A and B are shown apart, each in its own frame.
Chain A
Amino acid sequence: MGAFATTALATAAVAGGFADPVFDAQAVFRLLMGAMAEPGTVADLGARVAAPAPLVPAAAALLAALADGDTPVWMADPAGAGEAAARWLRFQTGAPITEDRAAATFALLPERHDPVGWASFPRGTSDYPDRSATLLLPVRDFAGGDGLVLAGPGIAAERRVAPAGLPEGFAAALAANRAGFPLGVDIVLVCGTAVLALPRSTRVREG
């Protein structure tokens, strides 16, 4: 890579962070906490960051708010197609970027990432189920896809969602994740600046 391109990457990494780190982080966290507490609801985190592709703005904002030196972030191809995104994350959060799934606190999944691979992210231990990864999965839209019926904590009776652009086998993977409760991963669907959380406590069926 030439000197010009390297400089451009470095510039991109230092730009586009939170304008107001304290209050942007608080606002993003509070919206995400609401989304986690009420699975299936869509929370718009707002346009608070400008991050390089393939980072979805909502995923970038979430990590800018919650990631740091203690939370390795897994992503695909951080030295290749993901290089600019990896640099941005390192600069903005101080989080180590890892290709080792077992080390991940957060994972930036590519679109339609095969759920078979999710088994190798940390699911916690029976003594410490909190030592588990949060997976950020980009979707095309929060509506227009096949219907899912959600139930469990945070949901008064049932909540219907229909995210578009989910990978094949998504509902079955979530059911398997729920079956392992209290172990499991927590999933945050991201699209544009918005999130929809599916913590491991949520029961999912197609419908």
Chain B
Amino acid sequence: MRTTAMTAAATPGPAYNFAYLDEGTKRMIRRAILKGIAVPGYQVPFASREMPMPYGWGTGGVQVTAAILGPADVLKVIDQGADDTTNAVSIRAFFRKTAGIATTTRTVEATIVQTRHRIPETPLAAGQIIVYQVPIPEPLRFLEPRETETRTMHALEEYGLMHVKLYEDIARHGHIATTYAYPVKVEGRYVMDPSPLPKFDNPKMHRSPALQLFGAGREKRIYALPPYTDVRSLDFEDHPFTVQSFTEPCAVCGARNVYLDEVVTDDRGGRMFVCSDTDHCGTRRAEATP
């Protein structure tokens, strides 16, 4: 079944600021975004606002989206690759109500994609913007809890500890065990947390033609990757970075070289692997059934 992907714009209620945020907050966030673009991978502090949703729901990404959004935008929101989770549905509804904008589930139709933990399988194009919801923006946080220290480490490019941690993985497991939030180095300068993406998605960030913006609400940080920015996953000469690979194709659409989720099919241990990107899977199925 193919559902209507595009939802028509609704008229915003008069009780809201456009996209909820007041104009002063938008200006402050916009200035932070511009500085983030000028210094790719550096975490710009901003005065995060209370949003009408809990922090775990991506308030940083929501504020970034609210600050950039205009009436002509078409917004897609995904959560772990899916458009139909409660989180994604709520955020889409929030912006339809407060900004009256059109929303979509189709990656190719979106001008802005707000995401929690995946990059769509369909390659993003020039002119598109992807907004990441980030829970913990500081890649060095689990090595050094003090903000003043991590700031100094970034300032001095003291990233040795990060390599030590990855190397300990190799000593213990024979390979780098980190599979989510796998750290990257931006333009050979800043080590950056790509948000809890599966490392499968890391190569999609490298020299993407789309503008990538990151918002962390609780930790009050914004950072950015302009198009065509160098984004390298940290690794070692004798242990090069590799992505997860799947032996089976998607059980539903047959796609290979995509990120698959394991789905339990019955209570007797039955399971199958299907695309995590629901738009990608649905589009392939629709194309296969004329």
Contacts and interface: CB of A to CB of B under 8 A. Distances in A.
A155 B230 CA distance: 11
Q: What band does the interface of chain B fall in when counting residues whose beta carbon is under 8 Å from A?
A: 35 or more
A27 B37 contact: no
With a 10 A CB-CB cut-off, give which of A70, A129, A200 has the most chain B CB atoms: A129
Contacts, number: 111
Given A26-B69, A33-B68, A130 B226 contact: no
A33 B33 contact: yes
A54 interface: no
Contacts of A36: 34, 37-38, 226
A68 interface: yes
A176 to B, nearest CB: 16
Contact of B27 (A33, A65, A155, A200): A65
Interface in B177-227: 187, 189-190, 207, 209, 211, 224-227
A22 interface: yes
B226 A153 contact: yes
B42 A182 contact: yes
A200 B151 contact: no
Say what secondary structure dominates the interface of chain B: mixed
Given A33-B33, A182-B189, A186-B34, A153 B229 contact: yes
A96 to B, nearest CB: 15
Contacts of A126: 155-156
Interface of A: 21-23, 25-27, 29-30, 32-34, 36-38, 65-68, 70-71, 105, 126-130, 132, 134, 152-156, 181-182, 184, 186, 199-201
Interface of B: 17-18, 23-24, 26-28, 30-40, 42, 44-45, 67-71, 151-152, 154-156, 187, 189-190, 207, 209, 211, 224-230
25 contacts: A23-B70, A26-B18, A26-B68, A27-B70, A29-B26, A33-B34, A36-B226, A65-B27, A65-B30, A66-B27, A71-B31, A126-B155, A127-B155, A128-B151, A130-B35, A130-B39, A132-B35, A153-B40, A153-B187, A154-B228, A156-B207, A156-B228, A199-B38, A200-B38, A201-B226
